[in-house]
């Protein structure tokens, strides 16, 4: 009996040590980001494509999208996530972050203190971004207005409130390879980068498994609305019959092929993307059609 008990204790200790090692934060290689210098003008387009203001501006229809004070609540099967303050405020925002800390937060989901961010923050898509683009984003965001609104804690129950466990989730699901592969045109390749990395289209339009990871076998085929009301529509597959022109026109005007007007959470997305060059929207449209094949 003692031998069996000792064996169980030893096994538990080994399993715990292995879980601790596997769940440790993984940062970007210093050599990969050393010497990067951000350009705020280029960073504006990255900011618009990534939709930072769509989630981090204050709640309310009259909120200024350039003031990233946070506070919006996002429902999920695991609880409610509250968008934090990511304005340049030095106390309540990210004003004291270094460029390297910002890149590791955005591309690896790791805070300056070394804690895991929950994947409600779409670093699961941003991991595919070019570090130079994220450095440009950092430069631009540091030009935005500072706001001293304190960030609010997430409303999560046990065991989802254990941040270290997110490291095991990352070990299982965080990946930087492209989902849509094969022979892509130059325009489709650009659209893939914009869609799979920066604009993170799949984060809303792709269903998830029981642990909240994107189901790559049902890429862009629509998903339940996390709020519990309605369904986020597909943008690929047999139930999606828009042309490239339809998609590009929708992203630039907010009008569907049936002349319906964009609404809900997609409205700020379109408001951001419509400010990009039309060639970027055409590239997204080309990719979406390619991804649906």
249-287 pLDDT, tens digit per residue, is 999 999 999 888 888 888 889 999 999 999 999 999 999
Average pLDDT over residues 241-247: 95
- State the Cα–Cα distance between residues 198 and 122, nearest whole angstrom: 9
| Signed CA dihedral, 129, 186, 199, 160: sign only | negative
Q: What is the dihedral of CA 81, 86, 92, 97, to 10 degrees?
A: 120
Q: Percentage of the chain with pLDDT > 70? A: 91
* pLDDT tens digits for range 8-30: 555 555 545 555 566 688 899 98
- Spatial distance between the Cα atoms of 219 and 188, rounded to a whole number of angstroms: 16
**Token pair of 234, please?**
């597909």
Alpha-carbon gap, residue 209 to 231, rounded angstroms: 16
- Predicted TM-score of the model (pTM): 0.91
Percent of the chain that is helix, strand, coil (3-state, to 5): 45, 5, 50
Q: Is 109 left (phi over 0), alpha (psi -120 to 50) or beta?
A: left
* CATH number for the domain formed by residue range(s) 186-291: 1.10.760
| Residue-level pLDDT at 230 | 79
CB 221 within 8 A of CB 207: yes
Tell me, what's the pLDDT at 159? Answer: 81
CB of 205 within 8 A of CB of 232? yes
């Amino acid at each position: 009996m003692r031998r069996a008990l000792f064996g169980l204790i030893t096994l538990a200790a080994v399993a715990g040590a292995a879980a601790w090692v596997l769940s440790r934060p993984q940062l970007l290689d210093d050599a990969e980001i050393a010497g990067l210098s951000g350009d705020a003008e280029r960073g504006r387009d990255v900011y618009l494509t990534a939709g930072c203001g769509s989630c981090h501006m204050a709640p309310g229809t009259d909120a200024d999208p350039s003031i990233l004070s946070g506070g919006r609540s996002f429902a999920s099967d695991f609880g409610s996530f509250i968008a934090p303050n990511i304005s340049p405020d030095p106390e309540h925002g990210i004003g004291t972050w270094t460029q390297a800390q910002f890149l590791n937060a955005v591309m690896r989901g790791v805070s300056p203190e070394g804690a895991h961010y929950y994947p409600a923050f779409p670093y699961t898509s941003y991991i595919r971004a070019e570090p130079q683009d994220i450095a440009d984003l950092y430069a631009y965001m540091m030009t935005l207005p500072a706001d001293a609104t304190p960030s609010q804690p997430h409303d999560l129950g046990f065991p989802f409130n254990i941040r270290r466990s997110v490291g095991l989730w990352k070990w299982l699901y965080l990946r930087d390879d492209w989902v849509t592969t094969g022979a892509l045109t130059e325009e489709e390749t650009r659209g893939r980068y914009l869609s799979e990395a920066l604009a993170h289209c799949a984060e809303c339009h792709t269903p998830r498994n029981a642990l909240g990871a994107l189901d790559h076998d049902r890429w862009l085929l629509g998903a339940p609305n996390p709020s519990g009301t309605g369904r986020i529509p597909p943008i690929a597959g047999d139930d999606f019959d828009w042309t490239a022109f339809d998609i590009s026109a929708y992203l630039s005007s907010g009008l569907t092929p049936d002349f319906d007007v964009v609404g809900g959470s997609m409205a700020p997305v379109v408001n951001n993307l419509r400010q990009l060059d039309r060639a970027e929207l055409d590239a997204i449209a080309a990719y979406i059609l390619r991804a649906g094949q």
